[in-house]
Amino acid sequence: MPIDTTSQKPPIVVLTGPTATGKTAASIRLAERFPIEVINADSRLFYRRMDIGTAKPSEEERATVPHHLVDILEPEASTSLAEFQDRVYELIRAIHDRRALPVIVGGTLQYINAIVEGWRIPRVQPQPELRARLQHEAEAHGRDRLLARLAELDPAAARTTGPNLRRIIRALEVIEVTGRPISEQQGKSEVWFAPLLIGFTMPREMLYPRIDRRAEDQIAAGLVEEVRALLDSGVPETAPALGSIGYRQLLPYLSGQQTLAEALERIKHDTHRLVRHQQTWLRKVPPLVELDVSTDGWFDRLVTMIESHLERHPLPQ
């Protein structure tokens, strides 16, 4: 991972880790100690009118510390990884110009990696008709047919995608639009800032009950009504936003196929599975410093880590 350790580069801090470990609350507390601005890296928080199920920072919290990339999309809209990366890099520069510390907060793992590893991402907009055609071909003849075509056009990409149909289609899409193999357009570049990656952790036997209580509280706070209001306003069930955990599990209930209790249990189950995926990812990021937020004194240790990082990588003056 091309992370710089020299003091010539300005600092950023990344707070990541499994859902419900308190990343948002920690960032609000950090504003009492440091001149920070928060950059959201949780894809669910992009969407307007989706507040309860996303555990979005409140208006009061956002008034306490500047938050960026929150409520930037309608639920029917989508954004690409390349667009996200561009916006974050622009924000990092602007926040440094204000002599403040950019703090990236979120658990969308691909987004975090794209930022701190300087991913080179093909700037190819989604091609809905092409994707639909390739999807239909895969359904009619099997994904192996698409994978074989990709292996002819870009053997390196075929080895990387494996049987993942979404990635196969994306690779073929980039090739068709640009005329060049996607593998030639990908890679990593050295970033101009010095990231401190901190991964919040908590034992599963403590985190799972916390997740379950939050899901129950969200239902009590009106999550069902929030989802119903989105559907009533014309947001289709296929909208990207409604694929989020906490939303898609309520669709069968609202259509009369499940009870609310069954939907709630599915939210809990799917969130537990997401946590396992996030924890596995954390273990694969060597520069990341894990911080067990269930232990006494964890916030003081967080502050100390950031202070040490700022000593090595001072903010621009």
Residue 5 lies in a domain: no
**Based on the domain organization, do 234 and 290 belong to the same domain?**
yes
Going by pLDDT thresholds of 50, 70 and 90, the confidence category of residue 212 is: very high
Q: What is the mean pLDDT of residues 66-93?
A: 95
**Based on the domain organization, do 110 and 180 belong to the same domain?**
no
**Domain boundary residue, one of 185, 205, 230:** 185
Query: What is the pLDDT, as a whole number, of residue 281?
Result: 83
**Domain boundary residue, one of 144, 168, 185:** 185
Query: What is the pLDDT, as a whole number, of residue 162?
Result: 87
Predicted TM-score (pTM) of this structure: 0.89
Tens-place pLDDT, residues 141-165: 999 999 999 999 999 999 989 888 9
Going by pLDDT thresholds of 50, 70 and 90, the confidence category of residue 108 is: confident
Query: What is the pLDDT, as a whole number, of residue 7?
Result: 55
**Percent of the chain residues past pLDDT 90, beyond the cut:** 85
Query: What is the pLDDT, as a whole number, of residue 5?
Result: 46
245: CB partners within 8 A, 6+ apart: 53, 267, 270, 271, 274
**Based on the domain organization, do 179 and 295 belong to the same domain?**
no
Query: What is the pLDDT, as a whole number, of residue 4?
Result: 46
**Based on the domain organization, do 246 and 153 belong to the same domain?**
no
**Based on the domain organization, do 19 and 156 belong to the same domain?**
no
**Based on the domain organization, do 102 and 238 belong to the same domain?**
yes
Query: What is the pLDDT, as a whole number, of residue 3?
Result: 47
**Based on the domain organization, do 194 and 302 belong to the same domain?**
yes
Cβ atoms of residues 146 and 165 within 8 Å? yes
Which own/partner pairs from 295-300 qualify as long-range (CB within 8 Å, at least 24 positions apart)? 299/26, 299/29
Query: What is the pLDDT, as a whole number, of residue 79?
Result: 87
**Based on the domain organization, do 206 and 103 belong to the same domain?**
yes
Backbone phi and psi for residue 140, each to the nearest 5 degrees, phi listed first: -80, -35
Residue 245 lies in a domain: yes
Tokens of 215: 């899901």
Q: What is the mean pLDDT of residues 244-267?
A: 97
**Based on the domain organization, do 108 and 219 belong to the same domain?**
yes
| CATH code of the domain covering residue 135 | 1.10.20.140
pLDDT mean across residues, the chain: 93
Going by pLDDT thresholds of 50, 70 and 90, the confidence category of residue 2 is: very low
Query: What is the pLDDT, as a whole number, of residue 138?
Result: 94
Q: Comparing C-alpha atoms, which of 97, 47, 98, 85 is closest to residue 226?
A: 47
Would strands 11-16 and 101-105 be described as parallel, antiparallel, or unpaired? parallel
Query: Which residue did the predictor score with more confidence, 1 or 175?
Result: 175
Residue 56 has pLDDT above 80, yes or no: yes
Tens-place pLDDT, residues 37-55: 999 999 999 999 999 999 9
Residue 6 lies in a domain: no
| Range(s) of the domain holding residue 142 | 128-185
CB atoms within 10 A of CB 244: 19
**Domain boundary residue, one of 185, 202, 217:** 185
**Based on the domain organization, do 202 and 75 belong to the same domain?**
yes
Residue 75 lies in a domain: yes
Residue 97 lies in a domain: yes
Question: By 3-state DSSP, what share of the chain in percent is helix, strand and coil, each rounded to 5?
Answer: 55, 10, 35
Tens-place pLDDT, residues 128-139: 899 999 999 999
**Based on the domain organization, do 234 and 269 belong to the same domain?**
yes
How many structural domains is the chain composed of? 2
Q: Comparing C-alpha atoms, which of 53, 56, 23, 106 is closest to residue 217?
A: 53
Residue 317 lies in a domain: no
Query: What is the pLDDT, as a whole number, of residue 97?
Result: 97
Residue 253 lies in a domain: yes
Q: What is the mean pLDDT of residues 179-185?
A: 92
| CATH code of the domain covering residue 289 | 3.40.50.300
Q: What is the mean pLDDT of residues 7-14?
A: 90
